[in-house]
Structure 1
C-alpha cells in the first residue's frame, strides 16, 4: 500500500488494476476448469491479457518521462508504442478464443456444471471490472495518458463481455447448451473491435496526428485573453504520448522587441493553465495585414506645429491613410505620455510602435541612437520633410506620405 501511495496517479491506477486482475483471472480460470464453460475461460484468458497490458502500461509510463542525451525531449511516444502492444495482445487473445469457441461449436455441446456459482462469480467480475474501467478512464483523461485510456476502453469491453457470459451460462443451464460458445464468439468480436481501435488511435499519435479541435480552441481562447494580443492567427499542435506540443502564431497589439519575450511567456502561462499536459508552447509573432497606413507626427505644445524632434514633442498625431483610396481616413491627437527628461525620445518611439504606427514624419533631424533602434525594430519608416511645418500641411500631403517621399 505504501508503494501505491508513492506512485503517480496513472501508475497507481494500473497498479490497482493489476492486483484486482490477478485475483479475477485466477478465479475465472479455476471456475472454467470446474464448470467447463468456454465463455468463462475466455474471460479468464482475456483478464490474463489485462495483467500483461497493465504491467506494460506501468513500464511505459515510467520510461516515457526519462530524458537522455539522445532524447532530450523525453520518450513520450513510448506510451503510444505500449498502446500498440496492448492492441496486438487484444487481437491475439481474440484469435485464440475464436479458435476454441469454434471447436466447441463443432463438437458435442457440454452442459455447464454449477451454473449458479459461475453466474455469481461473473456478476462480481462485472462490478469490479466496471469500477476499474471507470477509474482508469477518469485518471487517463485527467493526465491525458493514451496507454491508460486504451486500457480503460479494453476494460469496458471486458465488462460488457462478462455480462454476456452471465447470459450465456444462464441459457446453458436452461438447456440451450450452444449459447455458451456463441457468447464466447461475441466476446471475440468485441475484443477484435477494441484492439483495432487501440492500435489506430496509437498510430495517429505516432504519425503526429493533430491535437483535438477543442484543445486547439481552448489554447486560442487563452491566448486571445492576453491584452497584448490583437489577434490569434492560428494554433497548431501535436500529441506525443501523454503530452502536447503547441505552436501559436499571434498578431501583437503593439509589437516592441523588448516586450516580445514577456508577451510570449505570458501566453505560454495562460495556455498551460487552460490546457492540460502541455510540454511546450512555441509563440511566433506575425504582422497584421495593412488596411490602413498610420503616420505618426510629433507635435509641439500648441497641437498644431510639428515639433523639431521627438524629445520636444508634447503631443503627437496619428494619421490613418487608406492606401487604396489615397485618402485621409482619420486623425487623432494624443498627449505624449512621457514627461520631459532623459530617455523621452526612446519612450515616445515605443509609444508610437504600440499604437501601430508604420511611418514617422519629422521636420528636423532624423532620430539616431536608441530612438532609431526602436523605430527600426518595429519597422517604422522615417520620413524627413522640412517643408511641412504644421499638422494641417501634413494632412494635405497624403499622396507623398503614402509614397514615403522625403
Structure 2
C-alpha cells in the first residue's frame, strides 16, 4: 500500500514544481510586457501549485499509521484535502470571472507580444500534460485529491486559451473579446470545482464506490465454494482506499476451521480482484438455506421411492434432488460409470458428484478418499442408515440427520 502513496506523492511533487516554474516565468514576462492578463494567469498558476502541495500533504497524512485516537487511520485526510482543493478551483473561477468583466472596458498594451504569446502557448501545453499525468496516476491509485488537482491543471488549458486570446486582442486592439471568452471559461472551471467538491463530500460521508466494483465483489462471493448466500454487503471509500464488510452463510455442518478458511479465501480473492480494497471484514454464520441440492446413492431408479444404496462409491446410480423451503421441487438420476472400477472408484465417483454442484450428500457408508474429496469442495456429508429417498429427504429437511465426520469404509 505504501507504493500507492509513493506514486501519488511523486506525481504531486512533479506537478507542483513545474507549476511554480511556469508561474515565475509568466510573472516575469507579464511584468516586462505589461500584460495584466499574463500576470493574472501567473497568480492562477501559483494557486495551482498551492493545490498540488495540498494534494501531496493529504497523501502524506493518509500514509500515517493508525493511532489509539484515530484507530481507522488518516485516510479521510485525503478527502478533506480534495475538498479544500475544490474550493481553490472555485475561487480561481471567481477571479477569472471578475477579471473577464473588467476586460470589457480595458485593452491590454503589449511591449514584447511574441514572447508573451509564446509563454502563454508553452504554459497551456505543459499544464495540460501535467493535468493528464495527475489524473492518470490519480485514477490508478484511486486518489480523489490527485484527480481533482489534475482536473484543475487540465482546465488551465482553457484559462491559457483565454490569456492567449487576451494577448492577441490587446496586440490587435480588439475590445470585449477577452472578457466574453473569460466568462465562458469560468463556467467550465466552476463545473470542475463543484464536481470535485461533491466527490470529496460524498467520500467523507462514506459513499459507496462505483457499482462496477461492487459487482466484482458480488461475483467473487458467488464463486467461493462453501458460501450458500451472502447479505449486508457494504463498501465505503476512505481516501484512495475502500473498506468493506459482508455476512456470509455457510453450511451448518462445517467446523470452525473450515469456516475460517472460507472467510480468509473471501478476503484474499476480493483484494485480488479489487486492488483498492484495503480491508474486508467477513462475518460467517451457519444456516439452513431455502434452496438446496442433495445427492443420494441408489441401486435402482424408482424415482423418489428408490431405496438408498449402502455404499457411496459402489452405487450404480445417484439421485439428485432440488429442495426449496424444505419441499422437493424436482429431481433427476445419473448413472455412476465408476462403480465397477477396481481402483479410485471412490475418488472418481466423488468428482462426478462435485461436478453436479450439490450442497449435501447423504450416504450410509463412504471411504476416506470420497469423504475428503467432497469435504474439500465444501460439500456437507450426512449419514442415513437406509430407507426410501423420499423419507431420507424429509429427514434431511427436518435437520434430523447427523453430519458424517469420519469415513466408514477403507479406501476404494
- TM value normalised by structure 2: 0.72
Mapped partners of 1:79, 1:111: distance in 2: 43
User: Does 1:320 pair with 2:359?
Assistant: no
The question of whether the paired residues in 2 share the 8 Å contact of 1:83 and 1:199 is answered with yes
Aligned residue runs from structure 1 range 8-23, under 5 A:
8-23=6-21
Hey, what does 2:404 align to over in structure 1? none
Among 339, 354, 359, the alignment partner of 1:356 is 359
Contact 1:326 1:402 in 2 (8 A): no
CA distance in 2, matches of 1:181, 1:8: 42
Of 244, 247, 258, which aligns to 1:246? 244
Distance 1:96 1:394, change over 3 A: closer
- Normalising by structure 1, we get a TM-score of 0.73
Shift of the 288–40 alpha-carbon distance from structure 1 to 2, 3 Å rule, reads farther
Structure 1 unpaired stretches of 5+: 337-350, 363-373, 384-388
Match of 1:119 among 103, 117, 123: 117
Name the residue aligned to 2:260: 261
The answer on 1:290 being equivalent to 2:286 is no
Q: 1:188 aligns with which of 176, 186, 191?
A: 186
CA distance in structure 2 between the aligned counterparts of 1:154 and 1:321, rounded to whole angstroms:
58
Distance 1:161 1:390 in 2: 84
Would the alpha carbon gap of residues 135 and 253 (structure 1) be closer, same or farther in structure 2, given more than 3 Å must change? farther
Given that residues 78 and 144 in structure 2 are in contact (C-alpha distance below 8 angstroms), is that contact kept between their aligned partners in structure 1?
Answer: yes
1:5-404 superposed matches below 5 A: 8-66=6-64, 67-105=66-104, 107-229=105-227, 235-250=233-248, 256-257=254-255, 258-285=257-284, 289-291=289-291, 294=294, 320=321, 329-330=331-332, 355-357=358-360, 390-391=386-387, 393=388, 395=390
Render the CA deviation track for 1:339-372: whole Å, top value 9, x for unaligned. Answer: xxxxxxxxxxxx9xx95349x799xxxxxxxxxx
Q: Per-residue displacement from partner, 1:59-104 (whole Å, max 9, x unpaired)?
A: 1111112111111221111101001111112222333343343334
Give the C-alpha shift of residue 188 in structure 1. Answer: 2.9
Instruction: Measure, in 2, the Cα distance between the counterparts of 1:274 and 1:404.
Output: 37
Q: How many residues align?
A: 359
Verify the 8 A CA contact 2:131 2:154 in the aligned structure 1.
Answer: yes
**Cα distance between partner residues in 2 of 1:217 and 1:133:** 30
SS of residue paired to 1:57: helix
String of CA shifts for 1:25-48, please: whole Å, max 9, x gaps: 112222233334343233211111
Q: 1:72 to 1:323 in 2, by over 3 A?
A: closer
